[in-house]
């Protein structure tokens, strides 16, 4: 049986996305909850899991740095699919009739629902915890008169016996999270359709003027469309950065390969984490 890791515990948005992906896979797949993203990725790199599904970017709050940093510094992982997951946040409590005094959630949902909370619960204390599932579990242990509530998934509320106070409280209904499905490099992977994107990571010489411009021109002159660029500190010295490029694969494979090789020649080092399909969940 294949094993797929996700950011646990049960009831998180990551578990919901993993359950969706699991339903699309042939054969049995066991889902494994991990305490953090790094642990899930390292389990795949070490061969203790066959795959993992980890968040890489939220449309409102930006990149998930631990995912990017681990991909940059780990040579054993490849991206095999991207999943676009719509985020649905619910406000849930043990006793919806009690005035809300404290609201628990992960930092990102708290930020994603900031406008709603300011409008409806301006006096409530906001408490950031490790996950939305953790928030639900804490509220489930509260007293009926405490006025505690959680921003969490519907599944988390059901798991912990909470009742819905308000549904779909995210400020932006287009809020979504991109996930990467990761496998160990070289392991056989079942195809999920034609590749649509490629992820390239490289470090360039930050001391030379125009070095980033030169890299970008290698893509542009070969008609390779770049849909995203991100930089992270290289962790070597101040001012040195690693760059992440999301590239569309709809151009000719020859042009894509040539541009990546040209960028490799201009880089301190370069890693191509593979070509992969993009799955848009209808959740």
**Domain of 125: which CATH number?**
3.40.190.10
Q: Do both 205 and 271 map to the same domain?
A: yes
Judge whether 89 and 134 are in contact, CB under 8 Å: no
Q: How far apart are CA 219 and CA 250, in angstroms?
A: 13
Q: What is the pLDDT of residue 27?
A: 78
Q: Do both 117 and 159 map to the same domain?
A: yes
Q: Do both 78 and 41 map to the same domain?
A: yes
Q: Do both 79 and 179 map to the same domain?
A: yes
CB-facing half-sphere around the CA of 134: CA atoms within 13 A: 14
pLDDT band for position 219 (cuts 50, 70, 90): very high
Residues 6+ away with beta carbon under 8 Å from 147:
98, 99, 100, 101, 102
pLDDT(48) > 90 = yes
Residue 189 maps to a domain: no
Residue 25 maps to a domain: yes
Per the structure, the complete domain to which residue 257 belongs is given by: 197-275
Residue 250 in 3-state DSSP? coil
Among 127, 155, 184, the domain boundary falls at 184
Digit-coded pLDDT (tens) for 245-267: 999 998 788 999 999 999 999 99
The phi, psi pair for 136, rounded to 5°, reads: -65, -40
Residue 254 maps to a domain: yes
Q: What is the pLDDT of residue 25?
A: 79
Q: Do both 83 and 121 map to the same domain?
A: no
Residue 155 in 3-state DSSP? helix
Residues 6+ away with beta carbon under 8 Å from 282:
none
Q: What is the pLDDT of residue 193?
A: 79
pLDDT(208) > 80 = no
Residue 91 in 3-state DSSP? strand
Residue 220 maps to a domain: yes
On average, the pLDDT of the chain sits at: 91
Q: Do both 80 and 7 map to the same domain?
A: yes
Instruction: Report the predicted TM-score, pTM, of the whole model to 2 decimal places.
Output: 0.87
Q: Do both 179 and 59 map to the same domain?
A: yes
Residue 283 maps to a domain: no
Residue 281 maps to a domain: no
Q: Which CATH number belongs to the domain containing residue 201 in this structure?
A: 3.30.70.260
Task: Check residue 109 and report its DSSP letter.
Answer: H
Digit-coded pLDDT (tens) for 88-129: 999 999 999 999 999 999 888 999 899 999 999 999 999 999
| Sheet of strand 241-248: strand arrangement | 226-233, 241-248, 197-204, 267-276
Judge whether 139 and 104 are in contact, CB under 8 Å: yes
Q: Do both 111 and 81 map to the same domain?
A: no
Domains of the chain: total: 3
Among 139, 156, 184, the domain boundary falls at 184
Q: Do both 150 and 202 map to the same domain?
A: no
Q: Do both 80 and 179 map to the same domain?
A: yes
Q: Do both 219 and 266 map to the same domain?
A: yes
Higher-scoring residue by pLDDT: 59, 42 = 42
Q: Do both 113 and 54 map to the same domain?
A: no
pLDDT band for position 172 (cuts 50, 70, 90): confident
Residue 190 maps to a domain: no
Q: How far apart are CA 113 and CA 105, in angstroms?
A: 10
The residue written with tokens 């509530």 in the block is 149
Residue 41 maps to a domain: yes
Please name which of 35, 37, 84 lies closest in space to residue 58, comparing C-alpha atoms. Answer: 84
Q: How far apart are CA 144 and CA 164, in angstroms?
A: 15
Q: How far apart are CA 153 and CA 238, in angstroms?
A: 40
pLDDT band for position 43 (cuts 50, 70, 90): very high
Residues 6+ away with beta carbon under 8 Å from 151:
89, 90, 91, 92, 103, 104, 105, 109, 110, 113, 132, 135, 169
């Amino acid at each position: 049986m294949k094993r797929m890791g996700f950011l646990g515990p049960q009831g998180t948005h990551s578990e919901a996305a993993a359950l969706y992906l699991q339903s699309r896979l042939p054969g049995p797949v066991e889902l494994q909850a991990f305490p953090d993203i790094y642990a899930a990725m390292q389990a795949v790199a070490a061969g203790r899991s066959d795959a993992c599904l980890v968040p890489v970017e939220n449309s409102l709050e930006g990149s998930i740095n631990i995912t990017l940093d681990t991909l940059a510094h780990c040579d054993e992982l490849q991206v095999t699919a991207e999943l676009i997951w719509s985020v649905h946040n619910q406000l849930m409590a043990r006793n919806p009739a009690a005035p809300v005094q404290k609201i628990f959630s992960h930092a990102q949902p708290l930020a994603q629902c900031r406008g709603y909370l300011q409008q409806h619960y301006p006096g409530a204390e906001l408490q950031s915890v490790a996950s939305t599932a953790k928030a639900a579990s804490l509220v489930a242990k509260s007293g009926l008169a405490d006025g505690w509530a959680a921003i969490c998934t519907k599944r988390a509320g059901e798991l912990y016996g909470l009742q819905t106070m308000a549904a779909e409280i995210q400020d932006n209904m287009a809020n979504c999270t991109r996930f990467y499905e990761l496998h160990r490099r070289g392991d056989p992977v079942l195809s999920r359709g034609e590749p649509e994107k490629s992820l390239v990571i490289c470090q360039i010489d930050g001391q030379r003027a125009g070095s980033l411009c030169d890299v970008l021109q290698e893509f542009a002159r070969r008609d390779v469309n770049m849909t995203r660029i991100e930089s992270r500190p290289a962790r070597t010295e101040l001012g040195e950065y690693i760059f992440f490029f999301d590239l569309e694969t709809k151009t000719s494979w020859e042009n894509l390969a040539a541009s990546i090789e040209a960028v490799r020649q201009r880089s301190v080092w370069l890693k191509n984490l593979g070509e992969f399909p993009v799955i848009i969940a209808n959740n």
